[in-house]
Amino acid sequence: MRDSKTDGGMGFKDLKLFNMALLAKKGWSIMNEESTLLHKIYKTKHFPNTEFLNAKLGYSPSYAWRGIWEAKKSLKMGCRWRVGKGSEINLWTDYWVPNHRQLKHSVHEVELDVSQKVESLIDTNTRWWHVEKVNQLLPATVAA
């Protein structure tokens, strides 16, 4: 299968990587195309009370869901948030800062409100960051 097309193969360099890319593409469509039947079916069965990126594998996953769920890790690494007002982004549990996992593992001095949203760090009048709050709550590598 790794043979080039001229040698009678399919021309894939890494079939496992290619399959993971296709599964990630399917995950992307489930995540972004909420009106599709596919999204509605998976949402009902696998993540009824949350978003696709926060979905759990579950107890008896289908082969297809297991593959899409595995590919979700790649999606999380490649996705970026558009902060906007910050009202939809959980400050501590969402992966909203590039190259950082959940921020709650980085902060030790402050008692955390796990439901806190990013909007709490934005001044609603100026639409700029509250620099003092950002510096107080977030690690220096993130606040910079």
Render pLDDT for 64-113 as a digit per residue (tens, 0 to 9). 999 999 999 888 887 777 888 888 888 887 778 776 665 654 555 556 67
Whether the predicted model's global pTM rises above the 0.85 cut? no
Q: The domain containing residue 144 runs over which residues?
A: 81-144
More confident residue, 13 or 34: 34
Q: Are 74 and 101 part of one and the same domain?
A: no
Looking at the predicted structure, is the pLDDT value of residue 13 above 90? no
Q: Are 25 and 46 part of one and the same domain?
A: yes
Query: What is the Cα 8 distance to its own chain's centre?
Result: 39
Q: Are 17 and 65 part of one and the same domain?
A: yes
- Burial class, 129, CB count within 10 angstroms (exposed 0-12 / middle 13-18 / buried 19+): middle
Q: Are 35 and 59 part of one and the same domain?
A: yes
> What gap in Å lies between CA 130 and CA 142, rounded to an integer?
14
Q: Are 54 and 110 part of one and the same domain?
A: no
As for how many domains the chain has, the answer is 2
Q: How high does pLDDT run on average in the chain? A: 84
Q: Are 100 and 39 part of one and the same domain?
A: no
